[in-house]
């Protein structure tokens, strides 16, 4: 079965995810939540993997840190990839671990040519360790940093060209970053190399509860109509790609999420998936 639209797998939905069959349905997990010697979570994931394609979407490799990827983390990721044979392994254009401290977030950095060299090397090390290409996702951004030498789209395209990695385009992150930093999301999406794009993410965002004008990539709400429109526009340009609906907070019933994933599936089917 070719994966079309999938859902981020949540523990409260294990039973339904295992039982549900739908054309093109697949699931994605953060490998960090399964990096254990054993336990019921791994058992459930194995049972779900028997019936559905799976993607491993890392949040902790810290590719944009000015340091080599942690060998223990890479080994744990490889063990999961070897066991579950995911159709995609992805990570973020961000850093989270620095000088032995892990910050559970996806942190920004100045996109300099030196950073490009470092991150390309880190992606290369990761791909060598895993024995496969990965996809790299655009982050949501909240700070107007100075010192960038490349646009994010140039930076991502150059990483793909140098390392052979693909791109995971999070349309909600594009929308949030564009709103926060003041650029046009359409132009951003148009600038990405279509051939490198291997997966698309959709999620919901919200206003900053801290009272600022920032949009926050909360994953706590349905996908917004503005993001659906950008998604349709992107798929019309590049063709169908496996698409994930992510929800990590205020998680509704499984069928509510399935309705969103069915909407993405319909967009992909229309585009010829």
Q: State the residues that interact with another protein by CB under 8 A.
A: 32-33, 35-41, 43, 59-62, 65-66, 70, 72-73, 76, 95-105, 107, 109-110, 112, 114-115, 118, 141-147, 180, 208, 210-214, 216
Cβ proximity to another protein, 51 vs 102, nearer residue: 102
Cβ proximity to another protein, 107 vs 269, nearer residue: 107
Tell the smallest beta-carbon distance from residue 195 to another protein (Å). 28
Task: Report residue 212 as tokens.
Answer: 């600022």
H helix count then E strand count, the chain: 9, 12
Place of tokens 């058992």: 43
DSSP state of 248: -
Tell the smallest beta-carbon distance from residue 67 to another protein (Å). 8
Task: Report residue 248 as tokens.
Answer: 């990590």
**Phi, psi angle pair for 6, to nearest 5°:** -130, 180
Tell the smallest beta-carbon distance from residue 20 to another protein (Å). 21
Tell the smallest beta-carbon distance from residue 188 to another protein (Å). 18
Query: Quick check: 137 and 173 in contact, CB under 8 A?
Result: yes
Cβ proximity to another protein, 28 vs 32, nearer residue: 32
Cβ proximity to another protein, 32 vs 262, nearer residue: 32
CA separation for the pair 186, 175 (Å, rounded)? 9
Query: Quick check: 83 and 125 in contact, CB under 8 A?
Result: no
Tell the smallest beta-carbon distance from residue 123 to another protein (Å). 15
Dihedral sign, Cα of residue 134, residue 138, residue 139, residue 140: negative
Cβ proximity to another protein, 45 vs 273, nearer residue: 45
Cβ proximity to another protein, 15 vs 105, nearer residue: 105
Tell the smallest beta-carbon distance from residue 177 to another protein (Å). 11
Q: What is the DSSP string of 201-246?
A: EE---EE-TTSSS-EE--S-SPPPHHHHHHHHHHHHHH----EEE-
């Amino acid at each position: 079965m070719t994966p079309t639209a999938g859902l981020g797998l949540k523990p409260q939905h294990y039973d339904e995810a295992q039982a549900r069959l739908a054309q093109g349905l697949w699931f994605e997990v953060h490998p960090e939540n399964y990096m254990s010697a054993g336990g019921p979570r791994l058992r459930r994931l194995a049972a779900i993997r028997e019936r559905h394609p799976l993607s491993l979407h890392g949040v902790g490799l810290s590719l944009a840190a000015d340091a080599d990827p942690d060998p223990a983390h890479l080994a744990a990721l490889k063990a999961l990839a070897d066991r579950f044979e995911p159709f995609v392994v992805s990570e973020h254009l961000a850093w989270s671990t620095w000088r032995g401290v892990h910050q559970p977030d996806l942190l920004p950095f100045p996109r300099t040519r030196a950073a490009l060299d470092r991150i390309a090397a880190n992606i290369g090390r990761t791909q060598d360790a895993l024995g496969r290409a990965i996809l790299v996702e655009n982050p949501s951004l909240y700070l107007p940093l100075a010192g960038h030498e490349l646009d994010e789209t140039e930076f991502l395209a150059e990483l793909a060209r140098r390392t052979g990695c693909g791109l995971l385009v999070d349309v909600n992150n594009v929308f949030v970053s564009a709103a926060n930093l003041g650029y046009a999301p359409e132009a951003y999406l148009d600038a990405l190399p279509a051939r490198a794009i291997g997966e698309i993410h959709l999620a919901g965002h919200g206003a900053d509860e801290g009272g600022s004008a920032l949009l926050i990539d909360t994953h706590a709400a349905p996908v917004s109509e503005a993001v659906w429109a950008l998604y349709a526009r992107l798929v019309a340009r590049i063709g169908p790609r496996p698409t994930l609906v992510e929800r990590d907070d205020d998680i509704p019933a499984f069928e509510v999420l399935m309705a969103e994933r069915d909407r993405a599936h319909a967009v992909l089917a229309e585009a010829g998936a």
